[in-house]
């Protein structure tokens, strides 16, 4: 189940390009951005008129990945899919629409705001902007990388734009910040997208050679898990029959770090461990994709030959993928 990463598009508080990620990996991290993260887009403003900021985050990261991939002319866009995951979708627009509804005046319930409350609105906009007509969906739980590799491996698509997005929402982040399970981490927002393909090309950055996931029962971001989670993680990691040079973990400064790091050390004692969230922050449903972006960049620049990337989502899945030199 192989897929090839052709390009990366990222928006985060520490990096907004592959080159930025490489600087962080080399110890030259920039001053971290405050929230919400500011970003520039090459998409004409007229094409994004009335779109939510959630959509703009996703579309801008996607646009950067598409531009870098330089999709060949003549490519059948019916064979280009779009798979995006998120934890909370456009929660900002949900709140706005709820406020309009609570006021009891139907005319205040803007159709533009309502359409933005749908989690898959970002995928629809990405497909419109790029004329992608292949398999597309939004996951609010699950592994977008594993699903992408499955679709490519079974011939359902030739290329897939794959990634995740999570938007900053003051009310949501304030509420999450009160959770004991998130003490020690810095909540942030981000979007990370990859253009992937079935075939290796001269532009290929890295290969996704394998991907395994399993349920922890509950999300460690929202619930305190016990030591049995370490056994589940270890079982997943043992499915890889060769060791990575490095493990890019989901460590974020919370209690869960000890559980995950302990399992990783037991299974791959010689591997370097690196935590992208130290720089990108805890981006919730986007954290796994951000970690994968860091891993792909590390392979691209020759820092490591094989990187095992891990992550969790908001419904309790523990996701992993081996990203290595193609």
**How far is the C-alpha of 251 from the C-alpha of 274, rounded, in Å?**
8
The alpha carbon of 314 is separated from its chain's Cα centroid by a whole number of angstroms, namely 12
Please enumerate in sequence order all residues whose Cβ is within 8 A of that of 114, keeping only pairs 6 or more positions apart, or say none. Answer: 97
**Domain 3-197: CATH class, spelled out:** alpha beta
Angstrom CA distances, 219 to 101, 146, 158, 205, 326, stand at 31, 19, 33, 31, 32
Contact 250, 223 (CB under 8 A): no
Which residues of the chain carry a pLDDT beneath 70? 1, 105-108
**Ranges in the chain annotated CATH 3.40.47.10:** 3-197, 209-324
Angstrom CA distances, 283 to 69, 159, 165, 213, stand at 25, 26, 8, 19
Per-residue pLDDT, 111: 76
- Which of the listed CATH numbers 3.40.50.300, 3.20.20.70, 3.40.47.10, 3.50.7.10 matches domain 209-324? 3.40.47.10
Angstrom CA distances, 19 to 8, 68, 219, 221, stand at 10, 12, 32, 30
Q: What is the pLDDT of residues 143-199, one digit of tens each?
A: 999 999 999 999 999 999 999 999 999 999 999 999 999 999 999 999 999 999 999
Angstrom CA distances, 58 to 122, 201, 256, stand at 6, 25, 28
Per-residue pLDDT, 59: 98
312 by DSSP, 3-state: which?
A: strand
């Amino acid at each position: 189940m192989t897929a090839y990463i052709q390009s990366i598009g990222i928006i985060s508080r520490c990096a907004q390009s592959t080159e930025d990620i490489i600087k962080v990996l080399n110890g030259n991290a920039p001053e971290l951005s405050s929230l919400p993260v500011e970003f520039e887009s090459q998409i004409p403003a007229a094409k994004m008129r009335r779109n939510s900021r959630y959509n703009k985050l996703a579309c801008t990261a996607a646009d950067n990945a598409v531009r870098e991939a330089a999709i060949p002319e003549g490519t059948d866009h019916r064979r280009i899919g779009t798979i995006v995951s998120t934890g909370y979708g456009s929660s900002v627009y949900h709140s706005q629409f709820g406020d309009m509804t609570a006021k009891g005046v139907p005319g205040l319930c803007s159709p533009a705001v309502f359409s933005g409350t749908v989690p898959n609105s970002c995928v629809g906009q990405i497909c419109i902007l790029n004329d992608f007509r292949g398999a597309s969906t939004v996951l609010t739980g699950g592994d977008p990388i594993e699903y992408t590799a499955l679709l490519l491996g079974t011939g359902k698509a030739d290329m897939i734009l794959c990634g995740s997005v999570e938007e900053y929402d003051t009310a949501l982040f304030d509420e999450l910040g009160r959770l004991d399970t998130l003490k020690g981490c810095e909540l942030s927002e981000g979007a990370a997208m990859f253009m992937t393909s079935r075939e290796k090309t001269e532009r290929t950055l890295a290969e996704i050679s394998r991907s395994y996931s399993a349920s922890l029962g509950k999300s460690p971001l929202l619930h305190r898990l016990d030591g049995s989670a370490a056994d589940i993680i270890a079982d997943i990691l043992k499915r890889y029959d060769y060791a990575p040079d490095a493990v890019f973990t989901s460590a974020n400064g919370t209690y869960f770090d000890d559980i995950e790091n302990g399992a990783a050390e037991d299974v791959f004692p010689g591997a370097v461990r690196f935590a992208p969230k130290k720089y990108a922050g805890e981006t919730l449903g986007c954290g796994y994709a951000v970690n994968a972006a860091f891993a792909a960049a590390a392979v691209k620049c020759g820092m490591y030959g094989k990187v095992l990337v891990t992550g969790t989502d908001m419904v309790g899945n523990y996701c992993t993928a081996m990203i290595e030199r193609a």
